[in-house]
Structure 1
Amino acid sequence: MLQNKHIVLGICGGIACYKAVDLVSKLQQAGAVVDVIMTESADEFVRPLTFSTMSHRPVYSDLWEPSGQAAETHIRLAEEAELLAIVPATANTIAKLAHGFTDNMLTTVALATQAPLLLAPAMYKDMYTHPATQANLSLLRQRGAYIVEPAVGRLASGTIGTGRLPDTELLLGAIRLTLGRHSGDLVGRRVVVTAGGTQEPIDPVRYVGNHSSGKMGYAIATEARDRGADVVLITGPVSLPAPYGVDLIRIETASQMRDAVMASVNDADVLVMSAAVADFRPAHPSPQKIKKHVGEPSIIASSGQQKQATTEGHAAGDGFSIHLVRNADILADLATMQIGQQRRNREGRLQPLIRVGFAAETENVIANARDKLVRKQLDLLVANDVMRSDSGFGADTNKVYFFHPDETVEDLPVMPKTGVAAAIWDRVLSLLT
């Protein structure tokens, strides 16, 4: 996403500018071309050599240098930039940008460029909340600038409040989002992605669940965001940070997952069901913790409503029985209900909801995946063997097959889950267009 992207990074004179060193380093490592422009006051906090070392490029600051080349340089930077990001953005520079002042290299480039503008304000809390600063930020938003809200925490003054520069990972997410919404191939699309596993309660402290980490679903949602889509991410309990800029809906059970999906897909272009949704749930969860002396639990799975052989919640000989009933099949229900069939795409044509499913298998991967593709009337099915050490739950890589309705099967090599996510959206994009 950032490979060969030309990013002009403005550095203003606040104590938080030391954090921008790490941002420049991470952008450069991701393959971006980073030109740094420093204000004169930023030079008092971090020397230009530091940023030059991290970016592997010259640092610009003096609009009035004696050779006269700065006049040509600020136009070149303005025209070459694919994004102008100002990190940190001080109250002073925000005011200049809002009112069109051009008294230094950074503000001159800002006024001359057609690239999207991203601001990450960082300052003392009362400076940030001051009506003048808020009015200036509001004016810049109206003109299309994207504002990364400052974090709440301990400030350089020692006080606690709003004004901290967010961490590098969040800033990188904001940069990717802004670039995607400006030139991504999914701009104007709304997509729904499910991730993680569900937890079906046995009692208030125990549940029936699975090993899903959510990594694949989060990678899919992040890739869609980076391509400019409006993303709804419906997630079961995971230990992953929320991707910046997506609409996050947290759920626990399969029933909650179904409700969230049904409420989200009516105006969506695409649904990617990568979550590991539990097929069964305890029919009658205990309202209180089941005590150990009741016995060790055993599981009785049932797709029907037949009567339990034992009384749930009580000992049955040397064991304990939990009666399981089948959860709703979300993708199958969608196929029956035909939700999204009357949505108009960007070209004005009626287009159905594109539905992508996943099949995590332990045996007979090809046969089981083909059956699922047909049964659920999917546009694309992604299947993998979760018994492999380099694929499936918890791994950072995945070995998948793509199954298409025309019986075409693509056998992809082992790759990072971010690469699988990109491949999925490449296939979905062809279905959309």
Structure 2
Amino acid sequence: MNKKTIVLGVCGGIAAYKSAQLASSLYKKGYDVHVIMTKNATEFITPMTFETLTHNRVSVGTFDRNFQYDVNHISLAKRADLFVVAPASANCIAKFAHGLADDMLTTTFLAASCPKLIAPAMNTGMLNNPITQHNIEICKKYGMTFVESDSGYLACGDVGKGRLAEIEDIEDAIESLLVKDKPLKGMKVVVTAGPTQEDLDPVRFMTNHSSGKMGYAVARAARNLGADVTLVTGPVSLRKPVFMDVVEVRTAIQMFEAVEALKDEYDILVKSAAVSDYRVERVSDHKMKKQGNQLTIDFVTNPDILAHMGQLKKANQVVCGFAMETQDLVENATKKLVNKGADLIVANQLNEDAAGFKKDTNVVTILTGEGITKLDVMSKEALGYEIMNRLLQILVKKRGIVC
């Protein structure tokens, strides 16, 4: 299998040093990374740094005489699966917007027909300048994708928006753009993820061990396959994925309300969050003090989001639920499939070595009305695609019947 080629453009700016981390990470993931630097970028970091990290020669000048027979900027433009510019200066963005090609980077960029990802980094005033904002909009109009700058303390001493986006966010955007097949394009997918928290008093709350990794993997897979994704997430330590709407909630009631508000919009709903079955009947206004060896708390039942959405779903909507069990996996998951009105249940056993909370792998059994399939151990990222592809098949069958 051929490696995918990523061209990484590096413009002048203090954030150029962060591009070395990006180049290194992409190389370690197996991409063929080719770096093109502007002359100003070489004032902040040397080409040799990138050559050491990518094992490819760095291009700087258009008229460099140390070249192969093929015209280098045209060769790279044709080979590229993705063109990333990080950091992108206001000057380079202006050139991209208006088709100016006066160095190796802008010449190759203009010649490339692959998807293009731009990560701006500059002073807040420059970024907020109406001219820069207009140039960004022009680039977007031509199909270029942007990873928004972060806010914080800038090298110039200002505080505001303009910092290069976190490398993890840029990589997330890259993974999204490199998936060429978009079978979910035009569809709306809602995913719930993570735990909920139910307050006991102003100090304590009840929760579970869910890390949100599985739900986030499903949401990224849906986005990468072209869907318009809304991620409804409980409190987790994971970075929020780019290019999707993220709704942050804490309690089961809040999650119920967030999902309920989307009941008429989604094509596919994936309920992977670990929602508390119960909440305290009355949250104490003050910290509960220790009173002997026993503490009595009255609980009430939380709304069953999966069952509620299963009852409300339309004929052309698909609902997926998750079942985590410690015993009688298939029996309990089958009951859930039938009783909750789900189209598909992803079941996993907590006490399996490769499954469970906080792990990067999972071992699941897929249950649908047509049968039961046990899958091998796989990463949660790979399982996200597996789940979405199976849900798409169900959706196609449903809509074939309806039509």
Q: Deviations 1:362-384 (Å, cap 9, x if unpaired)? A: 11111111111122232211111
Aligned runs of 1:300-315 on 2, under 5 Å? none
> Residue 416 in 1 paired to residue 379 in 2?
yes
Partner SS state of residue 74, structure 2: helix
C-alpha distance in 1 between matches for 2:49 and 2:205 = 52
Q: 1:141–1:147: 8 Å Cα contact kept in structure 2?
A: yes
C-alpha distance in 1 between matches for 2:275 and 2:202 = 20
Aligned runs of 1:322-337 on 2, under 5 Å? 322-337=297-312
Q: Return the offset for 1:62.
A: 2.4
Q: 2:311–2:341: 8 Å Cα contact kept in structure 1?
A: no
C-alpha distance in 2 between matches for 1:68 and 1:384 = 55
Partner SS state of residue 15, structure 1: coil
Q: Return the offset for 1:20.
A: 0.5
Structure 1 equivalent of residue 178 of structure 2: 179
Structure 1 equivalent of residue 56 of structure 2: 57
Structure 1 gap segments, 5+ residues each: 297-318, 342-351
Q: Return the offset for 1:41.
A: 2.0
Q: Using a 3 Å threshold, how does the CA distance of structure 1 residues 125 and 333 change in structure 2: closer, same or farther?
A: closer
Structure 1 equivalent of residue 400 of structure 2: none
Partner SS state of residue 264, structure 2: coil
Partner SS state of residue 61, structure 1: coil
Q: Return the offset for 1:71.
A: 7.0
The counterpart of 1:384, out of the listed 348, 355, 359, is 348
Name the amino acid aligned to 1:413. Answer: D
C-alpha distance in 2 between matches for 1:19 and 1:214 = 28
Q: Using a 3 Å threshold, how does the CA distance of structure 1 residues 413 and 261 change in structure 2: closer, same or farther?
A: same
Q: Using a 3 Å threshold, how does the CA distance of structure 1 residues 193 and 17 change in structure 2: closer, same or farther?
A: same
Q: 1:3–1:31: 8 Å Cα contact kept in structure 2?
A: no
Partner SS state of residue 60, structure 1: coil
Q: Return the offset for 1:274.
A: 0.7
Q: Return the offset for 1:68.
A: 7.8
Structure 2 equivalent of residue 357 of structure 1: 321
C-alpha distance in 1 between matches for 2:261 and 2:145 = 28
C-alpha distance in 2 between matches for 1:173 and 1:155 = 23
Structure whose CA Rg is larger = 1
Structure 2 equivalent of residue 394 of structure 1: 358
Name the amino acid aligned to 1:423. Answer: E
The counterpart of 1:228, out of the listed 219, 226, 238, is 226
Aligned runs of 1:6-155 on 2, under 5 Å? 6-66=5-65, 72-155=71-154
Q: Return the offset for 1:193.
A: 0.8
Partner SS state of residue 23, structure 1: helix
> Residue 374 in 1 paired to residue 373 in 2?
no
Q: 1:192–1:272: 8 Å Cα contact kept in structure 2?
A: yes
Q: Using a 3 Å threshold, how does the CA distance of structure 1 residues 70 and 140 change in structure 2: closer, same or farther?
A: farther
Q: Deviations 1:43-90 (Å, cap 9, x if unpaired)? A: 232222221222222222222234786873222222222221111111
Partner SS state of residue 360, structure 1: strand
Q: 2:149–2:164: 8 Å Cα contact kept in structure 1?
A: yes
Q: Using a 3 Å threshold, how does the CA distance of structure 1 residues 93 and 208 change in structure 2: closer, same or farther?
A: closer
C-alpha distance in 2 between matches for 1:208 and 1:202 = 7
Partner SS state of residue 59, structure 1: coil
Give the TM-score, by structure 1 length. Answer: 0.85
Q: Using a 3 Å threshold, how does the CA distance of structure 1 residues 414 and 178 change in structure 2: closer, same or farther?
A: closer
Structure 2 equivalent of residue 256 of structure 1: 254
Q: Return the offset for 1:123.
A: 1.9
Q: Return the offset for 1:261.
A: 0.8
C-alpha distance in 1 between matches for 2:2 and 2:275 = 35
Number of residue-to-residue matches in the alignment: 396
Q: 1:198–1:254: 8 Å Cα contact kept in structure 2?
A: yes
Partner SS state of residue 175, structure 2: helix
Q: Return the offset for 1:389.
A: 4.2
Q: Deviations 1:201-249 (Å, cap 9, x if unpaired)? A: 2323233322222221122212222323221111112222212222111
Q: Using a 3 Å threshold, how does the CA distance of structure 1 residues 69 and 102 change in structure 2: closer, same or farther?
A: farther
Q: Using a 3 Å threshold, how does the CA distance of structure 1 residues 73 and 362 change in structure 2: closer, same or farther?
A: same
Identity %: 45
C-alpha distance in 1 between matches for 2:186 and 2:55 = 36
Q: Using a 3 Å threshold, how does the CA distance of structure 1 residues 79 and 265 change in structure 2: closer, same or farther?
A: farther
Structure 2 equivalent of residue 304 of structure 1: none
Q: Return the offset for 1:157.
A: 2.5
Structure 1 equivalent of residue 196 of structure 2: 198
> Residue 321 in 1 paired to residue 285 in 2?
no
Q: Return the offset for 1:423.
A: 1.9
Structure 1 equivalent of residue 401 of structure 2: none
Q: Return the offset for 1:397.
A: 2.2
The counterpart of 2:284, out of the listed 286, 289, 301, is 286
